[in-house]
Chain A
């Protein structure tokens, strides 16, 4: 019984991740025309990607059911990546 519930949950998780991926196509489509650099687009894209990474951590990699230490570590890593990636991008823009 629990297995069926988990299997359905996994499928739902994949659908969520797939929709977030397809959202990129939508972003790209709405930008049709000459490519322009945009901090807003870049930041949102990075944030969406990190949301996906966190979902993968918590659902696929079962961190949801892991001890608190692992939960906090993976969350800290996501935050660290956000800071590093956005930081490097914005520093590059102003450099």
Chain B
């Protein structure tokens, strides 16, 4: 590929700790297993799943997906800002990310409350078991994401930190955040859109 020889392109690097990538890949496998079970059982009882799925509001799901994608965008910007040394811009980007995530969380809780009030709980039927289970475990990952964002804020705020270490830590945290995002992309597609 010619861009390997192109000197103006940056050298190839692993974003963040390779250890975090190992976690990301492993966790993705685990979720793929959950999704596999869901799709298998869904294909076996299409009527039940379709009928229950109709009670979800696709628009809220789409909006939530856009919001979480925005949070990924802002955290990617944060990585770029801190790489360029613009730490105040990076800090602002982290807070924007947290704000988007908070919107997502609130909407999710609202959605759950609405479904429960309609009479659909974790044990209502197989579809809702998967729905609450998948969105629930994703919610837990998102809560951990807030802790991870906290780590980014702490890193950006501490004085005299070695630039390389700081950058690697921020990239590591961003990698985790993007994982939460792409897992939601998959969950949304499988729960809300698949027929």
Contact = CB atoms under 8 A, between A and B. Distances in A.
| Complex: A in contact with B (CB within 8 Å) | yes
Interface of A: 3, 6-7, 10-11, 13-14, 17-18, 21-22, 24-25, 27-28, 31, 35-38, 41-42, 45-46, 48-50, 52-53, 56-57, 59-63, 65-68, 70, 73, 77, 80-81, 84-85, 87-93, 95
Contact of B182 (A21, A38, A52, A93): A52
Interface stretch (B32-40, B109-117, B119-127, B135-143): B32-40
Contact of B189 (A48, A66, A70, A91): A48
Interface in B31-54: 32-33, 35-37, 39-44, 46-47, 50-51, 53-54
Given A3-B84, A46-B190, A24 B62 contact: yes
B175 A92 contact: no
A91 B40 contact: yes
Smallest CB-CB A-B distances: 4 pairs: A92-B43, A37-B46, A49-B189, A92-B40
B169 interface: no
Given A21-B65, A24-B192, A91-B40, 7 more contacts: A35-B195, A37-B195, A48-B189, A57-B182, A65-B9, A65-B12, A95-B44
B15 A24 contact: no
A85 B32 contact: yes
Nearest to A24: B193
A61 B127 CA distance: 32
A41 B194 contact: yes
Contacts of B153: none
Contacts of A37: 46-47, 50, 195
A6 B58 CA distance: 32
Given A21-B69, A24-B189, A53 B182 contact: yes
B21 A45 contact: no
B25 interface: yes
B102 interface: no
B17 interface: no
Interface in B1-29: 9-10, 12-15, 21, 25, 28-29
Nearest to B25: A77
A14 B194 CA distance: 22
From A35, A38, A68, residue with most partner B Cβ within 10 Å: A35
